[in-house]
């Protein structure tokens, strides 16, 4: 190859064995690709790949608070390598982008690869005339159990919101409440229906007190179990704020209320942290929304230190890589619980639902409603009914982007908050 440019432009003319992806079945070649950035209430980055046959696919590339880094990675570094490639060769393109960058892993790289992967699966399924889950082995279940977010400044408020969720048919509800003495905390929003933490053009500063937090959560669970009864699954997100031994204590305190899971109890860079938690509690553990590859969770899964893996399509290398993580997790009794906050676009949600429907070891799917403006920019066929999400039956992912509407909402810089201890020490948010 003389230069990357020559190889891209001509790759579809080369025969297999030349070391370049050859033009495949039906001559489905990537003709162009572009990145669309829109802010219908929050920023979303979407990749659109077009083929020579007019079929196109879309992929979510949103990385909350760092959106433009992924957009540039795609536009400046990935798209030039895609032009001319056989759109059917999803695995090969995945490997090409992962191994070919030399610089492996990381949220920016893996979100960009994920977007390409999603778009290519969308194209393949459209060409096949099938909803994507059919290409992933078909349905293992009819619908996907989701959990909604109940939150409030007080225990009473939160329990009332949880009762609303139960009345709407939710079978699983996440509970977060304000911590007495703290002005604001993770998981508690001003607007109860749409929790959106990336709320300012420079990071908001929160203050944190572990002891006060550890006192309030068991009380919240006691009140919620009492009000909601035994049937509903109750979940909680610690958002990386405890040490392993504190997490062991909280897990133990929650055991009488039988939580479905305790999420992100500790930071996970050191996977051994979870070993210590496990020694002290039978509360199921979930982790992984910020994981990007199987290497972030290999030890956790292999040593059965967790019960649910929360990696999701957009931040963990797309459907191709997430399936690999799920297959590995399956042999260690670990089930999935994909991240599904509002910063994951409807494109990612559609992809996650096809994935969720197809795999044997599905656990639960997080679901937070998007704003109406977001739903208009991303028309989609999935729907909520009685605590479950039903994936779309139209060919492909079953989601689109309305580019005219998207253009009405220009990018707006927004950061996630930061968190400090009350003496000013920087802490985990």
Residue selected from 341, 381, 394, 415 as contacting ligand GCO according to rule CB under 6 A:
341
Segment contacting ligand GCO (CB under 6 A): 104-112, 248-256, 291-299, 336-344?
336-344
Residue 186 annotated among the catalytic residues of the structure: yes
Compare residues 237 and 246 and give the one whose CB is closer to Mg ion: 237
Show contacts with ligand GCO in window 179-198 (CB under 6 A).
197
What string marks each residue from 364 to 403 as x (binds ligand GCO by CB under 6 A) or -?
--x-------------------------------------
What number of other Cβ atoms are within 10 A of residue 416's Cβ? 17
Compare residues 278 and 339 and give the one whose CB is closer to ligand GCO: 339
Contact set with Mg ion (CB under 5 A) = 237, 289
Show contacts with ligand GCO in window 214-243 (CB under 6 A).
237, 239
Compare residues 83 and 416 and give the one whose CB is closer to Mg ion: 416
Q: Angle between the 346-358 and 318-330 helix axes, to the nearest 10 degrees?
A: 40
Going 39 to 170 to 221 to 336, the CA torsion angle's sign is negative
- Contact between 253 and ligand GCO by CB under 6 A: the answer reads no
Buried b (16+ CB within 10 A) or exposed e, 230-266: eebbbbbbbbbbbebebbbbbbebbeebebbbbbbbb
Q: How far is the CB of 117 from ligand GCO (least distance, A)?
A: 20
What string marks each residue from 17 to 56 as x (binds ligand GCO by CB under 6 A) or -?
----------------------------------------
The answer to whether residues 232 and 161 touch, using CB atoms and an 8 Å cutoff, is: no
The item of ligand GCO, Mg ion, none sharing an interface with residue 69, based on CB under 5 to 8 Å by kind, is none
- Residue 1 CB partners (closer than 8 Å, separation 6+): 7, 19, 20
- Per the listing, tokens 């109406």 go with 372
Tokens for 231, please give them: 């049937």
As a whole number of angstroms, the distance between CA 319 and CA 76 comes to 23
Which of 133, 186, 213, 308 does the annotation list as catalytic? 186
Q: How far is the CB of 287 from ligand GCO (least distance, A)?
A: 11
Q: CB-based burial of residue 173 (10 Å sphere; 0-12 exposed, 13-18 middle, 19+ buried)?
A: buried
Which of 239, 315, 321, 339 does the annotation list as catalytic? 239
Tokens for 281, please give them: 């509690």
DSSP H or E run through 97: helix 90-100
- Per the listing, tokens 């760092």 go with 66
What string marks each residue from 343 to 362 as x (binds ligand GCO by CB under 6 A) or -?
x-------------------
Residue 236 annotated among the catalytic residues of the structure: no
Q: How far is the CB of 227 from ligand GCO (least distance, A)?
A: 23
Q: How far is the CB of 239 from Mg ion (least distance, A)?
A: 6
Q: How far is the CB of 70 from ligand GCO (least distance, A)?
A: 13
User: In terms of Cα–Cα distance, which of 55, 56, 198 is closest to 47?
Assistant: 56
The answer to whether residues 223 and 257 touch, using CB atoms and an 8 Å cutoff, is: no
- Would you tell me which residues interact with ligand GCO (CB under 6 A)? 64, 197, 237, 239, 289, 339, 341, 343, 366, 416
Catalytic residues: 186, 239
């Amino acid at each position: 190859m003389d230069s990357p440019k020559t190889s891209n432009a001509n790759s579809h003319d080369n025969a297999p064995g030349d070391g370049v992806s050859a033009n495949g079945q039906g001559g489905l070649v990537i003709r162009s690709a572009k990145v669309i950035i829109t802010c219908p209430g929050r920023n979303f980055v979407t990749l659109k790949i077009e083929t020579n046959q007019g079929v196109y696919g879309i992929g979510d590339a949103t990385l909350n608070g760092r959106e433009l880094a992924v957009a540039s990675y795609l536009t400046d570094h990935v798209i030039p390598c895609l032009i001319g490639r056989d759109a059917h060769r999803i695995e090969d393109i995945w490997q090409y982008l992962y191994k070919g960058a030399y610089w492996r892993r990381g949220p920016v790289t893996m979100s960009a690869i994920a977007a390409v992967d999603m778009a290519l699966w969308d194209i393949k399924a459209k060409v096949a005339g099938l909803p994507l889950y059919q290409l992933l082995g078909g349905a293992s279940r009819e619908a996907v159990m989701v959990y909604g977010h109940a939150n409030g400044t007080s225990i009473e408020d939160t329990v009332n919101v949880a009762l609303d969720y139960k009345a709407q048919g939710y079978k699983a509800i996440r509970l977060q409440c304000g911590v007495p003495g703290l002005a604001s905390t993770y998981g508690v929003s001003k607007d109860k229906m749409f929790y959106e933490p990336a709320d300012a053009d420079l990071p908001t500063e929160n203050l944190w007190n572990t002891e006060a937090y550890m006192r309030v959560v068991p009380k919240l669970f006691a009140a919620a179990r009492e009000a909601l009864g035994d049937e509903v699954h109750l979940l909680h997100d610690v958002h990386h704020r405890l040490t392993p031994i504190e997490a062991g204590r909280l897990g133990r305190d929650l055991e009488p209320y039988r939580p479905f899971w305790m999420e992100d109890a500790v930071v996970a860079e050191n996977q051994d942290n979870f070993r210590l938690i496990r020694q002290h509690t039978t509360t199921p553990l979930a982790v992984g929304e910020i994981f990007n590859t199987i290497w972030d969770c290999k030890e956790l899964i292999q040593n059965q230190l967790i019960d649910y893996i929360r990696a999701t399509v957009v931040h963990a290398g797309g459907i191709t890589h997430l399936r690999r993580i799920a297959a590995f997790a399956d042999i260690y009794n670990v089930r999935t619980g994909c991240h599904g906050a509002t910063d994951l676009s409807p494109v990612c949600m559609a992809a996650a639902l096809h994935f969720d429907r197809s795999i044997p070891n599905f656990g639960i799917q997080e679901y937070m409603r998007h704003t109406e403006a977001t739903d208009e920019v991303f028309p989609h066929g999935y729907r909520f009914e009685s605590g479950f999400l039903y994936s779309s039956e139209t060919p492909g992912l079953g989601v689109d982007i309305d580019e005219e509407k998207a253009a009405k909402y220009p990018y707006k810089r927004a950061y996630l908050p930061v968190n400090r201890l009350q003496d000013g020490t920087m802490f985990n948010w």
